[in-house]
Structure 1
Amino acid sequence: MSGADLQILEALRFNGRITTQELADRVGLSRSVVARRLSQLLDDEVIRVVGIVHPLTLGIRSLAHVSLSVDRPVRRVADELSRLPDVPFVSLTSGSCPLIAEVRSRSDDDLARALDRVRSIDGVRATETLFYTKLVADVLRPSHAENVEIDAVDGRLLTLLQENGRMAFTTLGDKVGVSTGTARTRVLRMIDTGVVRIGAISRAGRRDTRVDVGVGLSVLGPASSCTDLLSEMPQVRFLAETIGRYDLLATVDADSLAEVVSVLDRLRGLKPVLHLDSWVHLSTVKESYTYPLEVLS
């Protein structure tokens, strides 16, 4: 992948709706060349540009991280796991547990039923669950928009943006049944108020040059004593306070393994940190934070 492609990817991670002309100005190439490169990246499914909404904004209140031990080929188990609607993330990992998943449900009862379905998959030998007490930083870092009303039109727009964050305002309006101006106004309002964050994530099964590493931390004192320090680190793409084996769970997104080593050294050096475990995400089988329309409307 060329240096220009990497610059395009980095810009899209920060702002998935950046214009082609803005990308061209940033990369230093012509608009036509950047448009062609961007189209190729999307067509080759190197990345997806999606809108991600904080789960609490939508009433998704019960979340958990599950490590799985298996006694059959791990990809078969991962494929079955990825079909569950309450499971937005499935990854093949290094370490003692070859498979990790995330479960997001509307209630504790729904979460319990989803975990039962996970444990019932053929080949799952054992599971270890971390329950989130606070989602500090979600993927792409959407905000928990507590005082913003989301009506049925907003919900339909968000559903479309979750599938394609770069969908044109004209297309959004046509699909939802409103004018282009209304679609533009509503989408920009939801972006400005933090209801949705639009950016690039890797396609399932595809990796660019970046490395994702999961980190579990045990800390001395309140977990919140570390969250501010971790959330300020640009390499931390996900962070949650948890109940279970660890007090904090994080995902470090870095340019190289050398950068990962540096970040892990910084984490170990934090005064409240007592213990740190890490694992490499080798292959993402599923990453889709798309919530059904009935949740949004």
Structure 2
Amino acid sequence: MAELRSDGRLGAVELADRLGISRTTASKRLAALVQSSRLHIVGVIHPHTLGFTSLAHVSIATDTQAQHVSRQLAGRREIPFVTLASGSYPVIAEVRASSEAALAAVLDSIRLMDGVLSTETLVYTDLISDVLRPVSVDDVHLDALDLRLLDELQVDGRLTYSELAQRMSVSVGTVRSRVTRMLDSGVVRIGAIDAPGPDRRVNVGLGIRVRGTVREAGAMLDAFPEVRFLAATVGRYDLLATVDCPALGDVVGVLDRVRALRPVTHLDSWVHLESVKEIYRYPIGGEMADVTR
């Protein structure tokens, strides 16, 4: 699972070599994982690449059951991420929109939802590291075929070149060269995202204030292998991060290392207790897709 989080298109032969096991064992284990509901292997595109440039983290206080509010949020196309969390804000959501006006409209609609008592919003000024760490590539040219391929890979990152070629009505060689180019250039990263459930890894949110430049502190945090998400923000915190660890005990050491960083002056943390929605799929040429787990 750890190898697939890093590269979701790894085959049985490559996994056998990396793990020092037989190809038969690797093939059986890989097939079982891919067919299970424990993880989803998808392509994640940096939102800026497709024009989604207005992003925000929203912490929500409720005056009703948090699950009720989280379900309402999960049904929104502009909201790819919803969790139930510890702390004074039991629901956390992320909004990704194509403009500041669109973002403001979504935030207004959240505040009007039944059960929402209050909200605290952090607007991203820089998405330093997204889930699976795709890279925003400003100068890459994506034509209609590239976009169609990305649309398919966002749903199933392990589609074979032959399957993609059949869906695109082009040759296998053309698909292979296009997908390879987009992977190599950082347009898309393909990896495994844990599904909700008891086997899910522990995710902890961090709110960080720093002295000096946010860029310097952000670079230090981005070097942490446990950081799966990192953004510079305007609001209560200068940086917002998500730490991914096998267990809560592992988080303690990460928090100590973050506090020890010279620029860090303040650190708050909260545990993401239950994943309600985590879908980073963007429709090609339209609004956020209405797809939830």
Instruction: Give the TM-score range, shorter chain.
Output: over 0.9
Residues 27-36 or 234-243, more deviating: 27-36
Gaps of 5+ in 1: 1-8
1:105 equivalenced with 2:97 (yes/no): yes
Could you tell me how far apart the structure 2 residues matched to 1:40 and 1:72 are? 40
Q: What residue in structure 1 maps to residue 290 of structure 2? A: none
Q: How does 1:56-67 map to 2 (within 5 A)?
A: 56-67=48-59
Q: Deviations over 1:138-173 (max 9, x none)?
A: 111111111110111111100110111011111111
CA-based RMSD: 1.4
Is the Cα–Cα contact under 8 Å of residues 63 and 115 in structure 2 kept in the other structure?
yes
> Is the Cα contact below 8 Å between 1:209 and 1:256 reproduced in 2?
no
Counterpart amino acid of residue 281 in structure 1: H
Supply the distance in 1 between the matched residues of 2:159 and 2:263 (Cα, whole angstroms): 44
| Matches of 1:248 and 1:285, distance apart in 2 | 24
Matches of 1:27 and 1:267 in 2, distance apart? 31
2:256 to 260, 265, 273: 265
Q: Quick one: which amino acid aligns to residue 117 of structure 1? A: S
Secondary structure at the counterpart of residue 45 of structure 1: coil
2:237 partner amino acid = Y
The partner residue of 1:86 within 66, 78, 81 is: 78
TM superposition shift of 1:209? 5.7
SS at match of 2:274: strand
TM-score w.r.t. the length of structure 1 is: 0.93
CA distance, structure 2, for counterparts of residue 44 and residue 209 of structure 1: 13
Q: Which amino acid aligns with 1:30?
A: S
The equivalent of 1:176 in structure 2 is 168
- Asked if the contact 1:59–1:295 (Cα under 8 Å) also holds between the matched residues in 2, the reply is no
Rounded Cα–Cα distance in structure 1 between residues aligned with 2:126 and 2:133:
14
Which residue identity does 1:43 align to in structure 2?
Q
Deviations, residues 162-221 of structure 1 (Å, cap 9, x unaligned)? 111011111111112222111111001100111101111112x22536211000011122
Equivalent residues of 2:194, 2:200 under 8 A apart: no
Aligned residues with identical type, % of pairs:
51
Match of 2:270 in 1: 279
2:123 to 119, 131, 137: 131
Paired residue secondary structure (1:293): coil
- 2:223 aligned residue (232, 244, 254): 232
Note the residue ranges of structure 2 that are not aligned, 5 or more in a row. Answer: 288-293
Report whether the alignment pairs 1:30 with 2:22. yes
Q: Any idea what SS the aligned residue of 1:228 has?
A: helix
Task: Choose from 149, 158, 162 the match for 2:150.
Answer: 158
Q: How far apart, in 2, do the equivalents of 1:80 and 1:209 lie?
A: 23
Count of residue correspondences: 287
One-letter amino acid matched to 2:5: R
In structure 1, give the amino acid aligned to 2:100: D
Tell me the distance in 1 between the aligned counterparts of 2:66 and 2:17. 44
Question: Where in structure 2 are the equivalents of 1:240-251 lying within 5 Å?
Answer: 240-251=231-242
